[in-house]
């Protein structure tokens, strides 16, 4: 019982330390844990796989802030590599002021690695204010909504945009978001303009969008770091990229830290139940020494 | 270790933030305030260059698009909140935004969030072709239907939860709890992912333990 008493009143800093170790050790000592590809990820990959090279474009919106970039940056990178490897034109944009800079950084790096040219193989349009108005404007006239790209070049002078009028010329809208902005894309681009929408979401938001996946309002969905790792794995399996990226390397740490979290939750519950049985607990259920 | 001063700065600020896990301290406060100030300043600059300059200043003074004075005037009415005597004028842009937003959004929102979602709970003959399909199979279709009906019955408060309603509402609360559990699991993964990313940065870019 002494052990259970101590467990019940364990300092939270010990829990932080245990979790930190469970994250750091798998990162330093690399090993291969298998993870399967979820069907929502597979559906997104298959949809992009079916887009003919040089045909309709894929539009990626970077609607997130640095707080969640850890989860969404690897997704953006993996999808961009897939599109560039298949020769699919890509248009980047953002409804978030800071998201524009995050997207530009990824676009520039991946495009350079893949030898793609701005204006020809991809366009980065940057930020435009006014969520709903921008989404509806893109459905009417893309070059009217984005008169210049992120660097100030007139949209009319970009060869890639000459053949893209509105959502009819876009094979897929992928919204990378850490908020409910995905719903705005579904409501306006999906319902009003019948555009094909997919989402890359933080793990916190992912469960909220499974109903949209089930109804087909989202053709695919990447959920958190795991979604990004799955997409990286698919890219490697199909030969679009020689090695897995940051998300895949993080999966070992996620798996180990999840096991530790589960053990901590179980131990916490055992300590709580033991304290309750002994009739000694404070208002929050903590064991009293 | 890296010799890049920006990586050092980022690493030190990351460690400053994590010192909060031990207890509140001046290093954490410094990093927190620095981040808040930078984020606000950066956002103002971005809005200025991407919204105010191209759409207001250039639109009015270069393109002489005088119609833009109307939304500019409406926008400025928000600032009347700082003048108590005419603060009520702020209600005008709020009313316009709410009215226009509701008018544009309601029909589409109803279709996307109610009609389509209700369609998603319907059982169709196509489900019989692949009964165990995890997305569109008959089994999952029945589960979704039962989950939706039972959960809604839990939130039906016009009748006492007795008899059949008691059974369905009890099943409904189980569905709700499973939903909360799934959300919590995903949230744990999200928070750990952010921590892992910072650790990757520290060990890769800063101290070069991971190649």
Residue-averaged pLDDT of chain B: 92
pLDDT of residue A181: 94
pLDDT band per the 50, 70, 90 thresholds, residue A286: low
C-alpha atoms less than 13 angstroms from C-alpha of B206 in its C-beta half-sphere? 17
User: Nearest C-alpha of chain B: how many angstroms from A54?
Assistant: 31
Contacts with A86 (C-beta within 8 Å, 6 or more apart), sequence order: A48, A49, A51, A53, A240
pLDDT, average across residues A152-170:
93
- Rounded to an integer, what distance in angstroms lies between the CA atom of residue A77 and that of residue A222? 13
What CATH class is the domain A39-244? alpha beta
Contact assignment for A206 to B144 by CB distance below 8 Å: no
- Rounded to an integer, what distance in angstroms lies between the CA atom of residue A161 and that of residue A136? 18
Mutual angle of helices B164-201 and A224-237, in 10-degree steps: 70
Chain B residues close to A203, C-beta within 8 Å = 186-187, 189-190, 193
**Tokens matching residue B20:** 């909060």
Question: How far does CA A190 lie from the centroid of its chain?
Answer: 19
pLDDT band per the 50, 70, 90 thresholds, residue B130: confident
pLDDT, average across residues A158-162:
93
Least confident of A105-114, B48-57, B75-84: B48-57
Chain B residues close to A186, C-beta within 8 Å = 112
Mutual angle of helices A12-28 and B164-201, in 10-degree steps: 60
> Is A257 in the B-facing interface, judged by CB distances under 8 Å?
yes
Contact assignment for B196 to A250 by CB distance below 8 Å: yes
pLDDT of residue A285: 57
In terms of CA atoms, which chain B residue is nearest residue A225?
B193
Chain A residues close to B39, C-beta within 8 Å = 98
Contact assignment for B200 to A213 by CB distance below 8 Å: no
- Rounded to an integer, what distance in angstroms lies between the CA atom of residue B81 and that of residue B23? 39
Residue A282 has pLDDT above 80, yes or no: no
Spatial contact of A34 and A147, defined as CB atoms under 8 Å apart? no
Residue matched to tokens 């002489």? B64
What is chain A's alpha carbon radius of gyration, rounded to the nearest angstrom? 23
pLDDT of residue A1: 65
Contact assignment for B197 to A70 by CB distance below 8 Å: yes
Higher pLDDT, A204 or A249: A204
Q: A202-224: per-residue pLDDT in tens?
A: 999 999 999 999 899 999 999 99
Give the ipTM: 0.85
Contacts with A276 (C-beta within 8 Å, 6 or more apart), sequence order: A285
Contact assignment for A98 to B42 by CB distance below 8 Å: yes
pLDDT band per the 50, 70, 90 thresholds, residue A283: low
Least confident of A229-238, A242-251, B75-84: A242-251
In terms of CA atoms, which chain B residue is nearest residue A40?
B135
Residue A192 has pLDDT above 80, yes or no: yes
Contact assignment for A226 to B189 by CB distance below 8 Å: yes
Assign 3-state DSSP to chain A and report helix, strand, coil percentages, each to 5. 60, 15, 30
pLDDT band per the 50, 70, 90 thresholds, residue A280: low
Contact assignment for B119 to A215 by CB distance below 8 Å: yes
Alpha-carbon distances, residue A44 vs A41, A171, A225, B25 (angstroms): 5, 12, 16, 45
Torsion of CA A208, A209, A210, A213, to 10 degrees: 170
> Is B109 in the A-facing interface, judged by CB distances under 8 Å?
yes
Across chain B, how many H-helices and E-strands are there?
7, 0
Residue B128 has pLDDT above 80, yes or no: yes
Alpha-carbon distances, residue A235 vs A175, A239, B170, B200 (angstroms): 19, 6, 45, 22
- Rounded to an integer, what distance in angstroms lies between the CA atom of residue B144 and that of residue A222? 22
pLDDT of residue A284: 59
- Rounded to an integer, what distance in angstroms lies between the CA atom of residue B50 and that of residue B196? 33
pLDDT band per the 50, 70, 90 thresholds, residue A8: confident
User: Nearest C-alpha of chain A: how many angstroms from B69?
Assistant: 18
**Tokens matching residue B190:** 């999200």
Contacts with B188 (C-beta within 8 Å, 6 or more apart), sequence order: A258, A261
Spatial contact of A160 and A124, defined as CB atoms under 8 Å apart? no
Domain ranges of chain A: 2-30+251-281, 39-244
Residue A34 has pLDDT above 80, yes or no: no
**Tokens matching residue A205:** 């938001």
CA A75-A78-A83 angle, to 5 degrees, is 120
3-class secondary structure, B129: coil
Residue B84: enclosing H or E segment and its boundaries? none
């Amino acid at each position: 019982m002494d052990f259970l008493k101590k467990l019940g009143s364990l300092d939270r800093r010990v829990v932080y330390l245990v979790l930190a170790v469970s994250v750091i050790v798998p990162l330093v000592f690399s090993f291969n844990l298998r993870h399967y590809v979820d069907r929502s990820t597979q559906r997104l990959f298959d949809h992009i796989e079916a887009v003919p090279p040089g045909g309709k474009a894929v539009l990626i919106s970077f609607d997130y802030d640095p707080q969640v970039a850890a989860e969404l940056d690897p997704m953006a990178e993996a999808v961009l590599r897939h599109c560039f490897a298949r020769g699919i034109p890509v248009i980047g944009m953002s409804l978030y002021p800071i998201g524009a800079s995050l997207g530009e950084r990824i676009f520039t790096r991946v495009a350079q690695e893949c030898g793609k040219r701005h204006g020809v193989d991809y366009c980065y349009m940057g930020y435009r204010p006014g969520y709903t108005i921008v989404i509806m404007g893109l459905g009417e006239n893309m070059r009217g909504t984005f008169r210049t790209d992120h660097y100030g070049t007139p949209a009319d002078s970009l060869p890639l945009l000459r053949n893209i009028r509105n959502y009819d010329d876009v094979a897929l809208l992928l919204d990378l978001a850490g908020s409910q902005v995905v719903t705005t894309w579904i409501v306006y681009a999906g319902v009003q303009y019948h555009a094909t929408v997919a989402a890359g979401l933080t793990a916190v938001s992912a469960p909220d969008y499974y109903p949209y996946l089930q109804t087909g309002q989202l053709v695919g969905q990447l959920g958190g770091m795991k979604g990004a790792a799955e997409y990286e794995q698919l890219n490697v399996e199909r030969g679009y990229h020689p090695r897995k990226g940051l998300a895949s390397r993080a999966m070992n740490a996620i798996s180990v830290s999840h096991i530790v979290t589960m053990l901590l939750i179980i131990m916490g519950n055992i300590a709580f139940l033991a304290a309750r049985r002994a009739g000694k607990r404070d208002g929050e259920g903590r064991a009293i020494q | 270790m890296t010799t890049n001063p920006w990586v050092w700065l980022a690493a030190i600020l990351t460690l400053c933030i994590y010192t909060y896990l031990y207890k509140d301290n001046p290093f954490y406060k410094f990093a927190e305030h620095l981040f808040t100030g930078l984020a606000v300043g950066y956002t103002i600059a971005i809005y200025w260059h991407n919204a105010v300059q191209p759409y207001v200043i250039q639109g009015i003074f270069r393109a002489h698009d005088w119609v833009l004075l109307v939304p500019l005037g409406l926008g400025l009415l928000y600032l009347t909140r700082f003048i108590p005597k005419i603060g009520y004028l702020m209600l005008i842009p709020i009313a316009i935004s709410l009215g226009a937003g509701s008018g544009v959004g309601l029909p589409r929102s109803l279709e996307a969030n109610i009609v389509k979602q209700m369609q998603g709970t319907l059982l169709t003959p196509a489900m019989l072709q692949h009964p165990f399909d995890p997305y569109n199979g008959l089994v999952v279709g029945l589960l979704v239907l039962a989950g939706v009906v039972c959960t809604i019955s839990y939130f039906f408060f016009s009748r006492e939860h007795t008899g059949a309603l008691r059974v369905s509402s009890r099943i409904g609360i189980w569905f709700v709890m499973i939903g909360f559990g799934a959300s919590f699991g995903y949230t744990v993964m999200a928070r750990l992912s952010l921590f892992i990313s910072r650790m990757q940065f520290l060990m890769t870019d800063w101290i070069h333990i991971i190649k």
